[in-house]
Amino acid sequence: MKSISLTKLVEVMNLRNMTPEIDMTDCKITIPEINRPALQLTGYFEHFANERIQIIGYVEYTYLQHLDMETRRAAYEAFVSKEIPCVIFTTLTQPGEELLELAKKYSVPTFCTDKSTSAFTAEIIRWMNVQLAPTISIHGVLVDVFGEGVLIMGESGIGKSEAALELLKRGHRLVSDDVVEISKVSDITLVGTAPDITRHFIELRGIGIIDVKTLFGVESVENTHSIDLVIKLEEWNKNKEYDRLGLEEEYTEFLGNKVVCHSLPIRPGRNLAIIVETAAVNHRQKKMGYNAAQELYKRVQANLAKKRGDI
């Protein structure tokens, strides 16, 4: 199971640590969700998601302030004693001394941020979803072509890296060669990145390893990019029927998310870089509402209808 260290979260979110005495070295966050303990502060703990980060906003804070000291202390102790990972106060609110005392007693790290509850909640959930996203590693090359993340797949030695190199020469950007780590950051978005050890390197058979960032400059590489299109390279098979119109999209699936996929037959004389560029631009055009195959189909149908009318 993936996890985030609490110290990293504090650093990235720029939180003020109100309990520096508590050792956070082994504190890990494993769920990319938060909880606002409104009902819990009133004493209702059924279905309490105590494994989540707890955020106390202005509403919860003002409720606590309206309680007398003894009742407030009892409510907070019942809350922090449930083995919660941490508590974050937002919207310029700060925990009182009695709250900090109980937090130290039960070893619950407590933080503050000046950001509003809504803005901070959206930011921390987005960040945690990326950090804790389900991830797989696949064999392929990921390139940013005209803003579209194109994942080139195929058998070893078929020419994926060579196609990526030609795309780099034409001004596009490399994300990863050989191994692509794919993360599902949402139900519609897949993000690809390179393993740290191979980032910005390409392997070319007969030449060896080249450093793309050094040879072509920093503008030729990216650390991460969404995966918008998959190109599968395969050996030409004269007995196989290949799609020549593209009226119906084909898809491949990663981590439950579907991505448009094109199978490209490889034979001598085909310029893979130009074909990949064209596929990327055509895919982008489809997302903008224009499908050339459907337009041709409409023209053919209109022409047939016209001929029938003439008869």
Q: Is 156 annotated as a binding residue?
A: yes
- Is 105 in the active site? no
Active site residue 258: no
Task: Find the helix or strand (DSSP H, E) in which 55 lies.
Answer: strand 53-56
How far, CA to CA in Å, does 168 sit from each of 135, 146, 217, 277? 26, 12, 10, 11
Q: Are strands 173-176 and 141-145 parallel, antiparallel or unpaired?
A: antiparallel
CA-based angle 80:18:128, to the nearest 5? 70
Residue 203 among known ligand-binding residues: yes
Q: How many helices (H) and strands (E) are present in the chain, helices listed first?
A: 9, 19
Active site residue 187: no
Residue 136, annotated ligand binder?
Answer: no
Given the residues 73, 178, 213, 284, select the one marked as catalytic.
178
The answer on whether 57 is annotated among ligand-binding residues is no
Residue 139 falls in the annotated catalytic set: yes
Note whether 149 and 231 are within 8 A (CB).
no
Cα distances from 57 to residues 63, 79, 190, 215, 280, in angstroms, run 10, 15, 32, 51, 45
How many whole angstroms separate alpha carbon 154 and alpha carbon 228?
A: 17
Query: b/e per residue, 178-194, with b = 16+ CB within 10 A?
Result: bebbbbbbeeeebbbbb
What is the DSSP code (8-state) at residue 296? H
Closest CA to 10 of 116, 86, 61, 76: 86
Q: Is 43 annotated as a binding residue?
A: no
| Candidate list 2, 8, 105, 139, residue with the active-site label | 139
Burial code (b: 16+ CB inside 10 Å, e: under 16) for 94-131 equals ebeeebbebbbeeebbbbbbebebeebbeebeeebbeb
Residue 153: its H or E element = strand 148-154
The catalytic residue among 52, 115, 160, 173 is 160
Q: Annotation-wise, does 160 bind a ligand?
A: yes
**CA of 164: how far to CAs of 144, 182, 196, in Å?**
10, 18, 19
Residue 154's identity, in one-letter code, is: G
Which residue among the candidates 47, 66, 244, 308 is catalytic per the annotation?
A: 244
Give the residue ranges of the annotated binding site for Mg(2+).
161, 203
Give the residue ranges of the annotated binding site for ATP.
154-161
Q: Supply the residues annotated as catalytic.
A: 139, 160, 178, 244
Give the residue ranges of the annotated binding site.
154-161, 203
